[in-house]
Chain A
């Protein structure tokens, strides 16, 4: 079975400050890891993914994420937060074997304060 934990229901950060949204995962094989963002009453938008290679992956809107195999973590980061980054962020995982079932975390609400 595969699972994702997002330990923070909400993260508050001042505009211009760096932000981190935490994620840990569990999967039996090698993971494919993803971050998605959801704005109110909208579907999810893909931000970035880790498949293999460099542990630091870069994605849309200036976001990046760091894969740490020993800690089974995949934290989302951004050097300087914008008010428009305020949204719900979901971490997701799938096993690279088999079919493409993707398991999502419960989500973390990011609030960027002007």
Chain B
């Protein structure tokens, strides 16, 4: 069983730039969620993708956007980067809604973004 993989693992950007983070979901999972974890904080829900559509969104501005592809992999795009965007970005896959399995999340190792 292939786990969740994320790339890149680390990256440094400057304010105003744009970044794309990538995630491959665990085999058998069709739902991908993205979380932002700032230093010393718990993960904060950004959004979720199911069947290539956004299936829920947290309290993040529109400059945070995403995609899900037919193979269930996903991208997180952040435009006009701000200093506060510096964080660990976690991708998690799960089985889709309605499976009755509780929807536990399986996380990748994360992409650590530093904005200077």
- B107–A102 touching, CB < 8 Å: no
A100 to B34 Cα, complex, angstroms = 12
Q: In the bound complex, do residue B42 and residue A104 qualify as a contact, i.e. CB atoms below 8 Å apart? A: yes
Contact string, A93-104, partner B, CB cutoff 8 A, digits 1/0? 010001111111
**Residues of chain B at interface, number, CB under 8 A:** 29
The interface bits of chain B over 29-51 (1 if a CB of A lies within 8 angstroms of the residue's CB, else 0) are: 00101010000011111001010
Closest chain B CB from A70 CB (angstroms): 22
When chains A and B are docked, how far (Å) is the Cα of A111 from the Cα of B107?
Answer: 23
A13 at the interface (CB under 8 A from B): no
CB-defined contacts of B92 to chain A, threshold 8 Å: 44
Chain A proximity mask over B85-111: 1 for CB below 8 Å, otherwise 0: 000001010100100001111111110
List, in ascending order, chain B residues with CB within 8 A of A104's CB: 35, 42-44
B45, A42: Cβ atoms closer than 8 Å: no
Whether A107 and B94, one on each chain, are in contact in the complex, defined by CB atoms closer than 8 angstroms, is: no
Instruction: Given A99-B55, A100-B33, answer yes or no on A44-B105 (Cβ-Cβ < 8 Å).
Output: yes
A44 B107 Cβ-Cβ under 8 A: yes
B43 pairs with A44, CB closer than 8 A: yes
**B8: Cβ under 8 A from any A Cβ:** no
The smallest C-beta distance from B32 to any residue of chain A, in angstroms, reads: 10
* B43 in contact with A90 (CB, 8 Å): yes
Cβ contact within 8 Å between A100 and B103 = yes
Could you tell me the distance between the alpha carbons of A12 and B95 in the complex, rounded to whole angstroms? 35
> Are A106 and B33 also in contact (CB < 8 A) when A32-B103, A99-B55, A100-B48 are?
no
Q: Which residues does chain B contribute within 8 Å of A100, judged by CB atoms?
A: 31, 33, 48, 55-56, 94, 97, 103
Binding site for A on B (CB under 8 A): 4, 6, 31, 33, 35, 41-45, 48, 50, 55-56, 58, 90, 92, 94, 97, 102-110, 112
Interface residues of A (CB under 8 A from B): 4, 32, 34, 36, 41-46, 49, 51, 90, 94, 98-107
